[in-house]
Amino acid sequence: MDSTELKNLDLADIPEIVIVDKTKVTLNSPLKIPKEAIRTSLRASTIDVVFANIFAIPTSGILLSNFVVELGASPIAFGMLSSIPMLVNLVQPLGAYFSEKTTSRFRYSLLIFGTARSLWVILAIAIFLANRGLINSYDLVNITLVIVLVTRLLEGFGGASWLSWLAIIVPHRLRGRYFGFRNSVGSLTNLICVPLAGIAVSTWHGGTLQGFGIAMAVGIISGYISLGCQYFKYDINPQHHNWAPEHGNKEAVTSTAEPSSILEIFKDFNFLKFLFYFGLSMFAINLSLPFFNLYMLDTLSLDVSWVTIYASIQAAINLLFFVIWGRLADRFGNRLILAFVGIILVIIPFLWLGVGTSNLDLWLWLPMIHVLTGGTSAASDLCNNNLQLGVAPIRNQANYFAISAAVAGASGALGTTIGGFIVQNGYFGGLSGLFIISSIFRLVALVPLVFINEPRRKSFIELIQGFWQRLNVSELR
């Protein structure tokens, strides 16, 4: 889905979404999302991702990693920096509970994310004071970790509500194409802005510390603009949303019963299988993922500008493959794509073994690794998200998303924390040993994927049976 498709999307492709008031038992007074409102919301969400990604450049990722590395942070502190954003997802079920008591997704999002993004101003001030010699490097690392912890904790209260909001707005039949397009826009933003930010920080006339402070200020302003874009998205009242009909069912809800408690989610066996797969996968991937940057910045001692160039290569591949994977997901389903790219994800940590600073490594091997990582991560992010949207029913979606984020966050944080201890402990072989261990767990994580039932798709067993039947028929001929 390109920009022209988003602008001129066929009306037939966007069904009016009906959300029935819980006090009614017929369709006499349904709350509808008009087609034009959906289009406006999708455009606003697409612009939102541009400024959100600019905000994320200094507040996460390679620039923040390079910042703490230059301050002399230990591998454990580096692992904590990566694990905190995942670990705080444990509060998402509580955040989902609070969000379902509100009457506006927009106002709840503005309160949570507006507060979280404002707290980064404290770190910007601390960087200014450190640049003047009023704060030492050790204290600045601790301040950074505290700011990351508090802001990510707040964002954990809003994550499930935001995803539930977007899941209602985006029609099911367009999810693959739209999220592929939206993610591509985000990747294009990273492709352009990450190397510019990396070069600006590394060459800033006042030093890298001051340069990072300027990048932080630009990011905070972009974060506020991102929140402003959400004003133009069609607001959803959770009190009506939770009584909406299931996917594809335009009949009114004939019961006024209250939504089930969050514990009822654990009776959904298919969702539990997804949780097991998702949690194990996040543990396996994050066991080594944050330490690829540490390997380049610390072990190889590469300049941050080199690392941002590699990040741009990865973003460029994301930009290309998000659209491709989105269309393939709509056609073939998400599980098959996840299984295919999962094999490549198993191989990637092995490719890091023996990487050095020779011209061959810098100009061929490292770019090739980032190309593979970009293509597979695009499929993994998109299809895992779509699969989650598929296995979760429309009622109480925020609770389902919150549980999923909590499991994934805890698993990912555990993986990153354990990875930090493995690197710190030479008994396991340092980073090389960590990469091998990660590959083993990535392979194991593919097993539960086979048993998940994706809505409107055949199971893996049915696909295998169909394959053998076609094979037998061809042999008879």
Q: Which domains does the chain have, with CATH numbers?
A: 34-249+261-476 (1.20.1250.20)
Token reading at 422: 């493995």
Q: Which of 24-28, 157-161, 354-358 has the lowest mean pLDDT?
A: 24-28
Measured distance CA(457)–CA(332) in Å, rounded: 8
* DSSP type of residue 451: G
Report the percentage of the chain scoring pLDDT > 90.
21
Q: Note whether 56 and 132 are within 8 A (CB).
A: no
* DSSP type of residue 72: T
Q: Note whether 420 and 437 are within 8 A (CB).
A: no
**pLDDT in the model for residue 404:** 86
pLDDT digits (tens, 9 = 90+) for 285-321: 988 887 888 788 877 888 877 887 888 888 788 778 8
**pLDDT in the model for residue 242:** 53
CA distance to 35, 63, 88, 143, 301, per residue, from 211 (Å): 45, 11, 29, 18, 20
**pLDDT in the model for residue 308:** 79
- Average model confidence (pLDDT) across the chain: 79
* DSSP type of residue 256: -
Q: Which of 113-127, 185-199, 304-318, 462-476 has the lowest mean pLDDT?
A: 462-476
**pLDDT in the model for residue 222:** 95
**pLDDT in the model for residue 343:** 92
pLDDT bin (cut points 50, 70, 90) of residue 326 is confident
Token reading at 153: 């904790």
pLDDT digits (tens, 9 = 90+) for 417-454: 888 888 877 677 778 888 999 999 999 999 998 888 88
Measured distance CA(117)–CA(97) in Å, rounded: 22
CA distance to 289, 414, 422, per residue, from 417 (Å): 12, 5, 9
Q: Which of 36-50, 96-110, 249-263 has the lowest mean pLDDT?
A: 249-263
Token reading at 112: 């949570």
**pLDDT in the model for residue 30:** 41
pLDDT at 1 over 70: no
**pLDDT in the model for residue 457:** 62
**Tokens 């070069």, located at residue:** 199
**pLDDT in the model for residue 462:** 56
Nearest to 226 by CA among 46, 103, 62: 46
Q: Note whether 337 and 325 are within 8 A (CB).
A: yes
Q: Which among 54-58, 318-322, 461-465 has the top mean pLDDT?
A: 54-58
pLDDT digits (tens, 9 = 90+) for 206-247: 888 888 989 999 999 999 999 999 899 988 888 775 544 444
Q: Taking residues 335-343, report their average pLDDT.
A: 89
Q: Taking residues 389-396, report their average pLDDT.
A: 76
pLDDT at 51 over 80: yes
pLDDT bin (cut points 50, 70, 90) of residue 465 is low
Residue with the bigger pLDDT between 315 and 280: it is 280
Token reading at 25: 């038992």
**Tokens 């049915």, located at residue:** 462
Alpha carbon 227 to its chain centroid, in Å, reads: 18
Q: What is the DSSP code string of 241-275?
A: HTTPPPTT--SPP---PPPPPGGGGGG-HHHHHHH
Measured distance CA(156)–CA(402) in Å, rounded: 9
